[in-house]
Amino acid sequence: MKRLKREKDYWNICALDPDVDQKYICDLDDDQRFDALGKLEPRVLEIGCGIGRLLKHDYYGIDISERMLSIAKNKKPYCNYKLSDGRTIPYEDSYFNSVYCVLVFQHIPFAGFKKYVQEVTRVLKSGGRFSFQIIEGKKEGEFSHHYDLDEVKKVLKENGFKIIKIKKGLVHDSWVWFKAKKK
């Protein structure tokens, strides 16, 4: 609980930064978006949507920060938003066709990543796609966490995902992108 409160407080403070539009983001042009996330089928969820930069029309976004969501709602009122507790997804089972996550998992411990994969398994329809980005390695810091690739693969397989593609170096050299399909 203390960890989740620190995360929530951190991102709520970040939302107060007057340059929030320029920081804490990952801009992907259309080619990079497709390369990183693949084809996203309708009813799409972004985990950790922040200020909504990557959301397209009618996408769904969840975030731990009320302030980030407030900015997102003002920028893109045509999307759907819910506040998250930082480890669960507040939607019913088999609700989404596609789920993606960019710039979130690198900020949470591996146990949080595992919890999110379980939640994605729950809210994703059979055959649905899960795309996400991590940083490879073994670093553990307050808000900087790098994961072992074999451990990530193991968690995906244990939760019923088939890995479709792993790509290193897109956008940043240290980033690793995963595309997986729920069996």
Q: How far apart are CA 68 and CA 105, in angstroms?
A: 17
64-114 residue pLDDT tens: 999 999 999 999 999 999 999 999 999 999 999 999 999 899 999 999 999
Q: Does residue 93 fall inside a structural domain?
A: yes
Q: What is the pLDDT of residues 153-177, one digit of tens each?
A: 999 999 999 999 999 988 888 899 9
Confidence of residue 33 (pLDDT cuts 50, 70, 90): low
Is 23 within a domain? no
What pLDDT, on the 0 to 100 scale, is given for residue 41? 79
Give mean pLDDT, residues 100-129.
96
Structural domain total, the chain: 1
- 86 found inside a domain: yes
- The pTM for the full model equals 0.90
Q: CA–CA separation, 128 vs 124, rounded Å? A: 6
Decide if 22 is inside a domain. no
pLDDT at 36: 65
Which of 61, 70, 124 has its CA nearest to residue 92? 124
In a domain, 67, yes or no: yes
**Domain-located, residue 32:** no
Q: Is residue 100 part of a domain?
A: yes
The secondary structure of the chain in percent helix, strand, coil, rounded to multiples of 5, reads: 30, 25, 40
Residue 122 sits in which domain range? 2-13+41-182
Q: Is residue 60 part of a domain?
A: yes
Query: Looking at residue 84, which CATH number applies to its domain?
Result: 3.40.50.150
